Amino acid sequence: MNRFFGAPTTALVMAVVAFQPARADSISFQLQNLVQTAVSGGDAIFEETVTNQSGTDLDASNFFFNFSAFDFVSVNPVQGLGVADFTIANGTTSGVVDLFEVFVGIAPPGSDFPIDVQLEDALTDLSAVQTVTVSVPGTPSVPEPHTLRVMLFLIALLSYGVHGAKPVSRKVRRLFAFFVPALLVAAMAPFARAQSGAPLFTTKSPVSGVINQIFQVMLPIVNSGTGAANNVTVTSATLAAATPKSPALPLLLNTLNPGDHSVINLQFDGGKLTLGSNYLLNVRGTYKLGTKCTRVLRESLRPGCQSHNFAVDHRFIRH
């Protein structure tokens, strides 16, 4: 399924549609530690190596990381690979370098922030997904109860509210009938996500060029995961420090099923970009899992209705 947003030329549209399928496992990245600690307001650096089996030599700036399923409010993953450029020859593994850094906002002690990470190259090869976690040291102020115990308690509470031995008013019964099932559904949300599969966002080979001093980027955003992503919305895009003149953000892409992609046309002021310079494009957005939410009052409690986040990168040379 293809969707195009913006006003690209016909030649650009035809070029983007013809992208090639990704080749899995021809590139990979290795991490010293999948779990790093960082204090509130601090950062964690993930470092190690990149292996290139793509069939051609690639510069570090030809690789970019995609991040999915993380808390945008609390953590901000930023790619470090390619800032200092070097060549990774085909069939070789790089030395130990900083791959990406995760900045932590104001977070309570004992918090854990998982992030799904996938490496991509300029040939659209994709690595296997790895999940890293940034942990904030300390003890949570309020320990989270075990999900199974919560579910059993809510079931017992629901049973008592409907069939309790003491007389209960109709109003109270209605409150039990409305709120307890909603809380029970919320407690089951982690199980629902695990069973339904998860989206994973990557990019494909884009097309870029200057038209009337406007640097245009046609970037395909792909759901390469195993679950549908609803209400996919692009919330921000930056090319180095520049923001797009068009389109207006946030931009709703709607639903992306596994294998679907949407192509967004991002337009930047070409006069502010140096000819021949290398720029990293970062696109961030949100999505929802599972079935679409239809009831506003229960939206925040229904599995799949919680917002999740993604960030994808691609590197461009100003033509």
pLDDT digits (tens, 9 = 90+) for 262-311: 999 999 998 888 877 888 899 999 999 865 444 333 333 444 466 789 99
Q: E strands of 189-244, at which residues? A: 201-203, 207-211, 214-223, 229-239
| CA-to-CA dists, residue 164 to 8, 169, 288, angstroms | 65, 11, 37
**C-alpha 119, offset from chain centre:** 13
SS (H, E, C) 49-102: EEEECCCCCEEHHHEEEEEECCCCCCEEEEECCCCCCCEECCCEECCCEEEEEE
pLDDT digits (tens, 9 = 90+) for 112-171: 999 999 999 988 899 999 999 999 999 876 545 555 555 556 556 555 555 555 555 665
- Is residue 221 within 8 Å of 264, Cβ to Cβ? yes
Q: What is the pTM of this model?
A: 0.70
> Which residues, 6 or more positions from 107, have their beta carbon under 8 angstroms from its beta carbon?
40, 74, 113, 136
Does CATH number 2.40.50.140 belong to domain 2-138+195-317? no
Where exactly are the structural domains of the chain? 2-138+195-317, 147-194
Strand 35-37 to 130-135 pairing:
parallel
- Is residue 234 within 8 Å of 249, Cβ to Cβ? yes
Q: How far apart are CA 125 and CA 119, in angstroms?
A: 8
pLDDT on residue 154:
55
> Which residues, 6 or more positions from 306, have their beta carbon under 8 angstroms from its beta carbon?
189, 288, 289, 300
Q: How far apart are CA 314 and CA 4, in angstroms?
A: 18
Structure tokens at 65: 């990381």
| Segment 195-209 mean pLDDT | 82
